[in-house]
Amino acid sequence: AQSVTQLGSHVSVSEGALVLLRCNYSSSVPPYLFWYVQYPNQGLQLLLKYTSAATLVKGINGFEAEFKKSETSFHLTKPSAHMSDAAEYFCAVSVRDKLIFGAGTRLAVHP
Amino acid sequence: NAGVTQTPKFQVLKTGQSMTLQCAQDMNHNSMYWYRQDPGMGLRLIYYSASEGTTDKGEVPNGYNVSRLNKREFSLRLESAAPSQTSVYFCASSEGNGGGEKLFFGSGTQLSVL
């Protein structure tokens, strides 16, 4: 069965530091993979998605993620954190006509 | 652009009461979904509707019913609310359902069952 595991429920970085949010998936077929972001008191918004066209996927707000089949990973990175990046981030895998989410990682950015 | 609209935004119920959460989208999307969000558990799919006239169970359907009233509207009903149904509920929609689809989310309904 397809599933998603996000390593670390909370991540804290300094403003300007590298952001790395980890996601591992399991899938019996080539997956579609997503990262969504949720700002406080809002619904989720799509950051980026992998659909097999390219292993390095660029998203909005300077985020990118690399699909590594050998490691079954789809980690999210941003070279330099901004205070406005503080939010909860969800990795998700598409299973036929449903989207299965990970538990989420809350990112805190401090000055 | 309204996108996905959910009502109400907040609701407090007593155990055993019933209520319906409303959701409407104005993007002419075929597929609609109801998720619940609980701390440390991410979003879990309750029910979804791949197209008008069809509904299917997700991961956690027990205690809920849904109606796809038309292409725009997809409601979620709690017949007899329980404290375990205290959660934040999100409605979402997508153009299709073949995988790789972007979901558009509403802003959520915070439900407390006492």
Average pLDDT of the segment spanning A47-57: 87
Q: How confident is the model at residue A60 (pLDDT cuts 50, 70, 90)?
A: very high
Q: Of the candidates B58, B99, B108, which has its C-beta nearest A94's C-beta?
A: B99
Tell me the average pLDDT of chain B: 93
Q: What is the pLDDT of residue B98?
A: 64
Q: What is the pLDDT of residue B1?
A: 65
Asked if B99 lies within 8 A of A42 by C-beta distance, the reply is no
Asked if A43 lies within 8 A of B4 by C-beta distance, the reply is yes
pLDDT at A51 over 90: no
Q: What is the pLDDT of residue B100?
A: 76
Amino acid at B100: G
Which chain B residue is nearest to residue A47, measuring alpha carbons? B102
Q: Of the candidates A32, A36, A46, which has its C-beta nearest B99's C-beta?
A: A32
Cα–Cα distance between B82 and B110 in angstroms, integer?
A: 14
Cα–Cα distance between B102 and B97 in angstroms, integer?
A: 9
Q: A5: which chain B residues are within 8 Å (Cβ-Cβ)?
A: none
Reading the block at residue A72, the tokens are: 């079954």
Q: Is A84's Cβ below 8 Å from some Cβ in B?
A: no
Nearest one of A38, A94, A35 to A65, comparing CA atoms: A35
Predicted confidence (pLDDT) per residue in B27-77, tens digit: 999 999 999 999 888 899 999 998 888 999 999 999 999 999 899 999 999
How many percent of chain B have pLDDT more than 70? 97
Reading the block at residue B83, the tokens are: 């404290």
